[in-house]
Amino acid sequence: MELNDKLLSLVTDIYDASLDDSRWTTTLGSIIDLAGGQSGGLVRIGAGGEAVISHAVGVEPTYIQSYIETYEPFDPSRGVLHAPVGQIQTIRDWIDVDEFWTTTFYNEWTRPQGLEDAANILLDKSADGISRLSIMKAGGPVDRRMYQVISYLTPHMQRAMLVRQKLQQQNELGTASARTLDALRTAVLLLDGNGHITHSNESARELLDGADVLRSVHGRLATSDLNADRVLRQALTGTAVGDRAMTSASISLHLTARDGSHYVGHLLPLTAGRRQMFGASYEACAVLFISKATIDTIVAPDLIRKLFKLTPTELRVFLAIVEIGGVPDVARSMGIAKTTIKTHLTRIFIKTGTKRQADLVRLIAAFTPPIKI
């Protein structure tokens, strides 16, 4: 099977897992294998700062336990919490490799497992906490193939995590699911074999009301792109009549609005297992996800790094000083010598034009937006 076919199949698995949590471990394993990783996990950090590994593959239970109980604060990849949502980060984005090899985290947790690097992606960030995906690699740094696979799958993982977080709070898929779908920013439309809309969430209704990208013609979905409309009709017809080529695969669509903005659509057949149960509640044979292709808003840490030309390690020390406190505590948290922290701090003071740690706190406050983005 070619790489593109494998990726498309994995997209289907990802959306299946969003509706059936028991599928996540198998799906995560497939992602890791295709990317060329050794192990990985989905990590959830709640509003209180507690880390929970939702699903893990290729990591022994003892290492999972020790990570949660001891080593999570020492993990340089925690820096991804300050990165834009959806951006791939590696260990080398946050710490020099030679310095990483001297840390407590590397010598006591990473190295014994034969690991050298990891790709980390912040999947979502809200007042309730964050979710991130980590895929760890042995035998060298994250390579081009891993970047390629993860880049393709990340938008689907983000949408799937949004669906998962809402649906896991519900045991029933009926009326409660309608409220759940309305809470999503991604437009979601449930369709029958003829393209009639059997349910749409609030985001989808906003698109339909605008009649720019999507519109309803006597209850039947139509798109602004004739080619996408044709592909959509063929897929829905095949799904309705039980064409295995259609019912086992997912379809990706690219839509362009009249103002030139771009949207990405993903049609998922509701033909098996819990997907079929979900569709039956709405007399639907497929669900269409539509989202606008946009660049995430730059958060304060990234803006500060670019403005003052801080290195990844300097930014990490900067943020640790603000979040944790003095040099001794930061050194313990990062697993780095106090003298090294002091050297980085001196360079930070020079670059930012500050003199004291309290000045750094005021500086980041000035760059932090008053509302959550």
Range(s) of the chain covered by CATH 3.30.450.40: 3-167
Q: What is the pLDDT of residue 245?
A: 46
Give strand ranges (E) for the chain: 39-46, 51-57, 88-90, 115-126, 129-138, 187-191, 197-200, 214-217, 220-223, 251-256, 262-269, 286-292
Residue 223 forms beta bridges with which residues?
Answer: 214
Range(s) of the chain covered by CATH 1.10.10.10: 300-367
CATH number of 300-367: 1.10.10.10
Measured in degrees and rounded to the nearest 5, phi and psi for residue 270 equal -105, 80
Q: What is the pTM of this model?
A: 0.56
Q: What is the pLDDT of residue 226?
A: 81
- Are the beta carbons of 191 and 287 closer than 8 angstroms? yes
Q: In 3D, which of 287, 215, 197, 196 has the Cα closest to residue 257?
A: 215
| Number of neighbouring beta carbons within 10 Å of residue 58 | 19
Q: What is the pLDDT of residue 184?
A: 65
Measured at the CA of 48, the angle between CA 370 and CA 125, to 5 degrees, comes to: 55
Q: What is the pLDDT of residue 173?
A: 46
pLDDT in tens, 274-319: 445 554 555 788 888 887 654 333 346 777 887 788 998 998 898 8
Q: What is the pLDDT of residue 247?
A: 46
Distance, C-alpha 209 to centroid of its chain: 29
Q: What is the pLDDT of residue 365?
A: 55
CATH number of 3-167: 3.30.450.40
Residues 6+ apart with CB under 8 A from 86: 121, 122, 123, 154, 155, 158, 296
Helix (H), strand (E) counts: the chain: 16, 12
List per-residue pLDDT tens for the chain, 373 residues long.
Answer: 577 778 888 888 888 888 788 888 999 999 999 999 999 998 888 766 677 888 899 999 999 999 888 998 888 888 887 888 888 989 888 888 899 999 999 999 999 999 999 999 988 887 777 888 999 999 899 999 899 899 888 888 888 877 766 665 554 444 545 555 565 667 888 888 888 998 888 888 988 998 888 889 989 998 887 888 888 888 887 775 554 444 445 677 777 777 766 677 778 888 655 445 554 555 788 888 887 654 333 346 777 887 788 998 998 898 888 777 789 988 988 888 999 999 999 999 999 888 888 778 767 655 554 333 3
Residue 191 forms beta bridges with which residues?
Answer: 197, 286
Bridge-based pairing state of the strands 214-217 and 197-200: unpaired
Range(s) of the chain covered by CATH 3.30.450.20: 184-292
Fold of the domain built from segment(s) 184-292:
Beta-Lactamase (3.30.450)
- Are the beta carbons of 99 and 339 closer than 8 angstroms? no
Residues 6+ apart with CB under 8 A from 216: 197, 208, 222
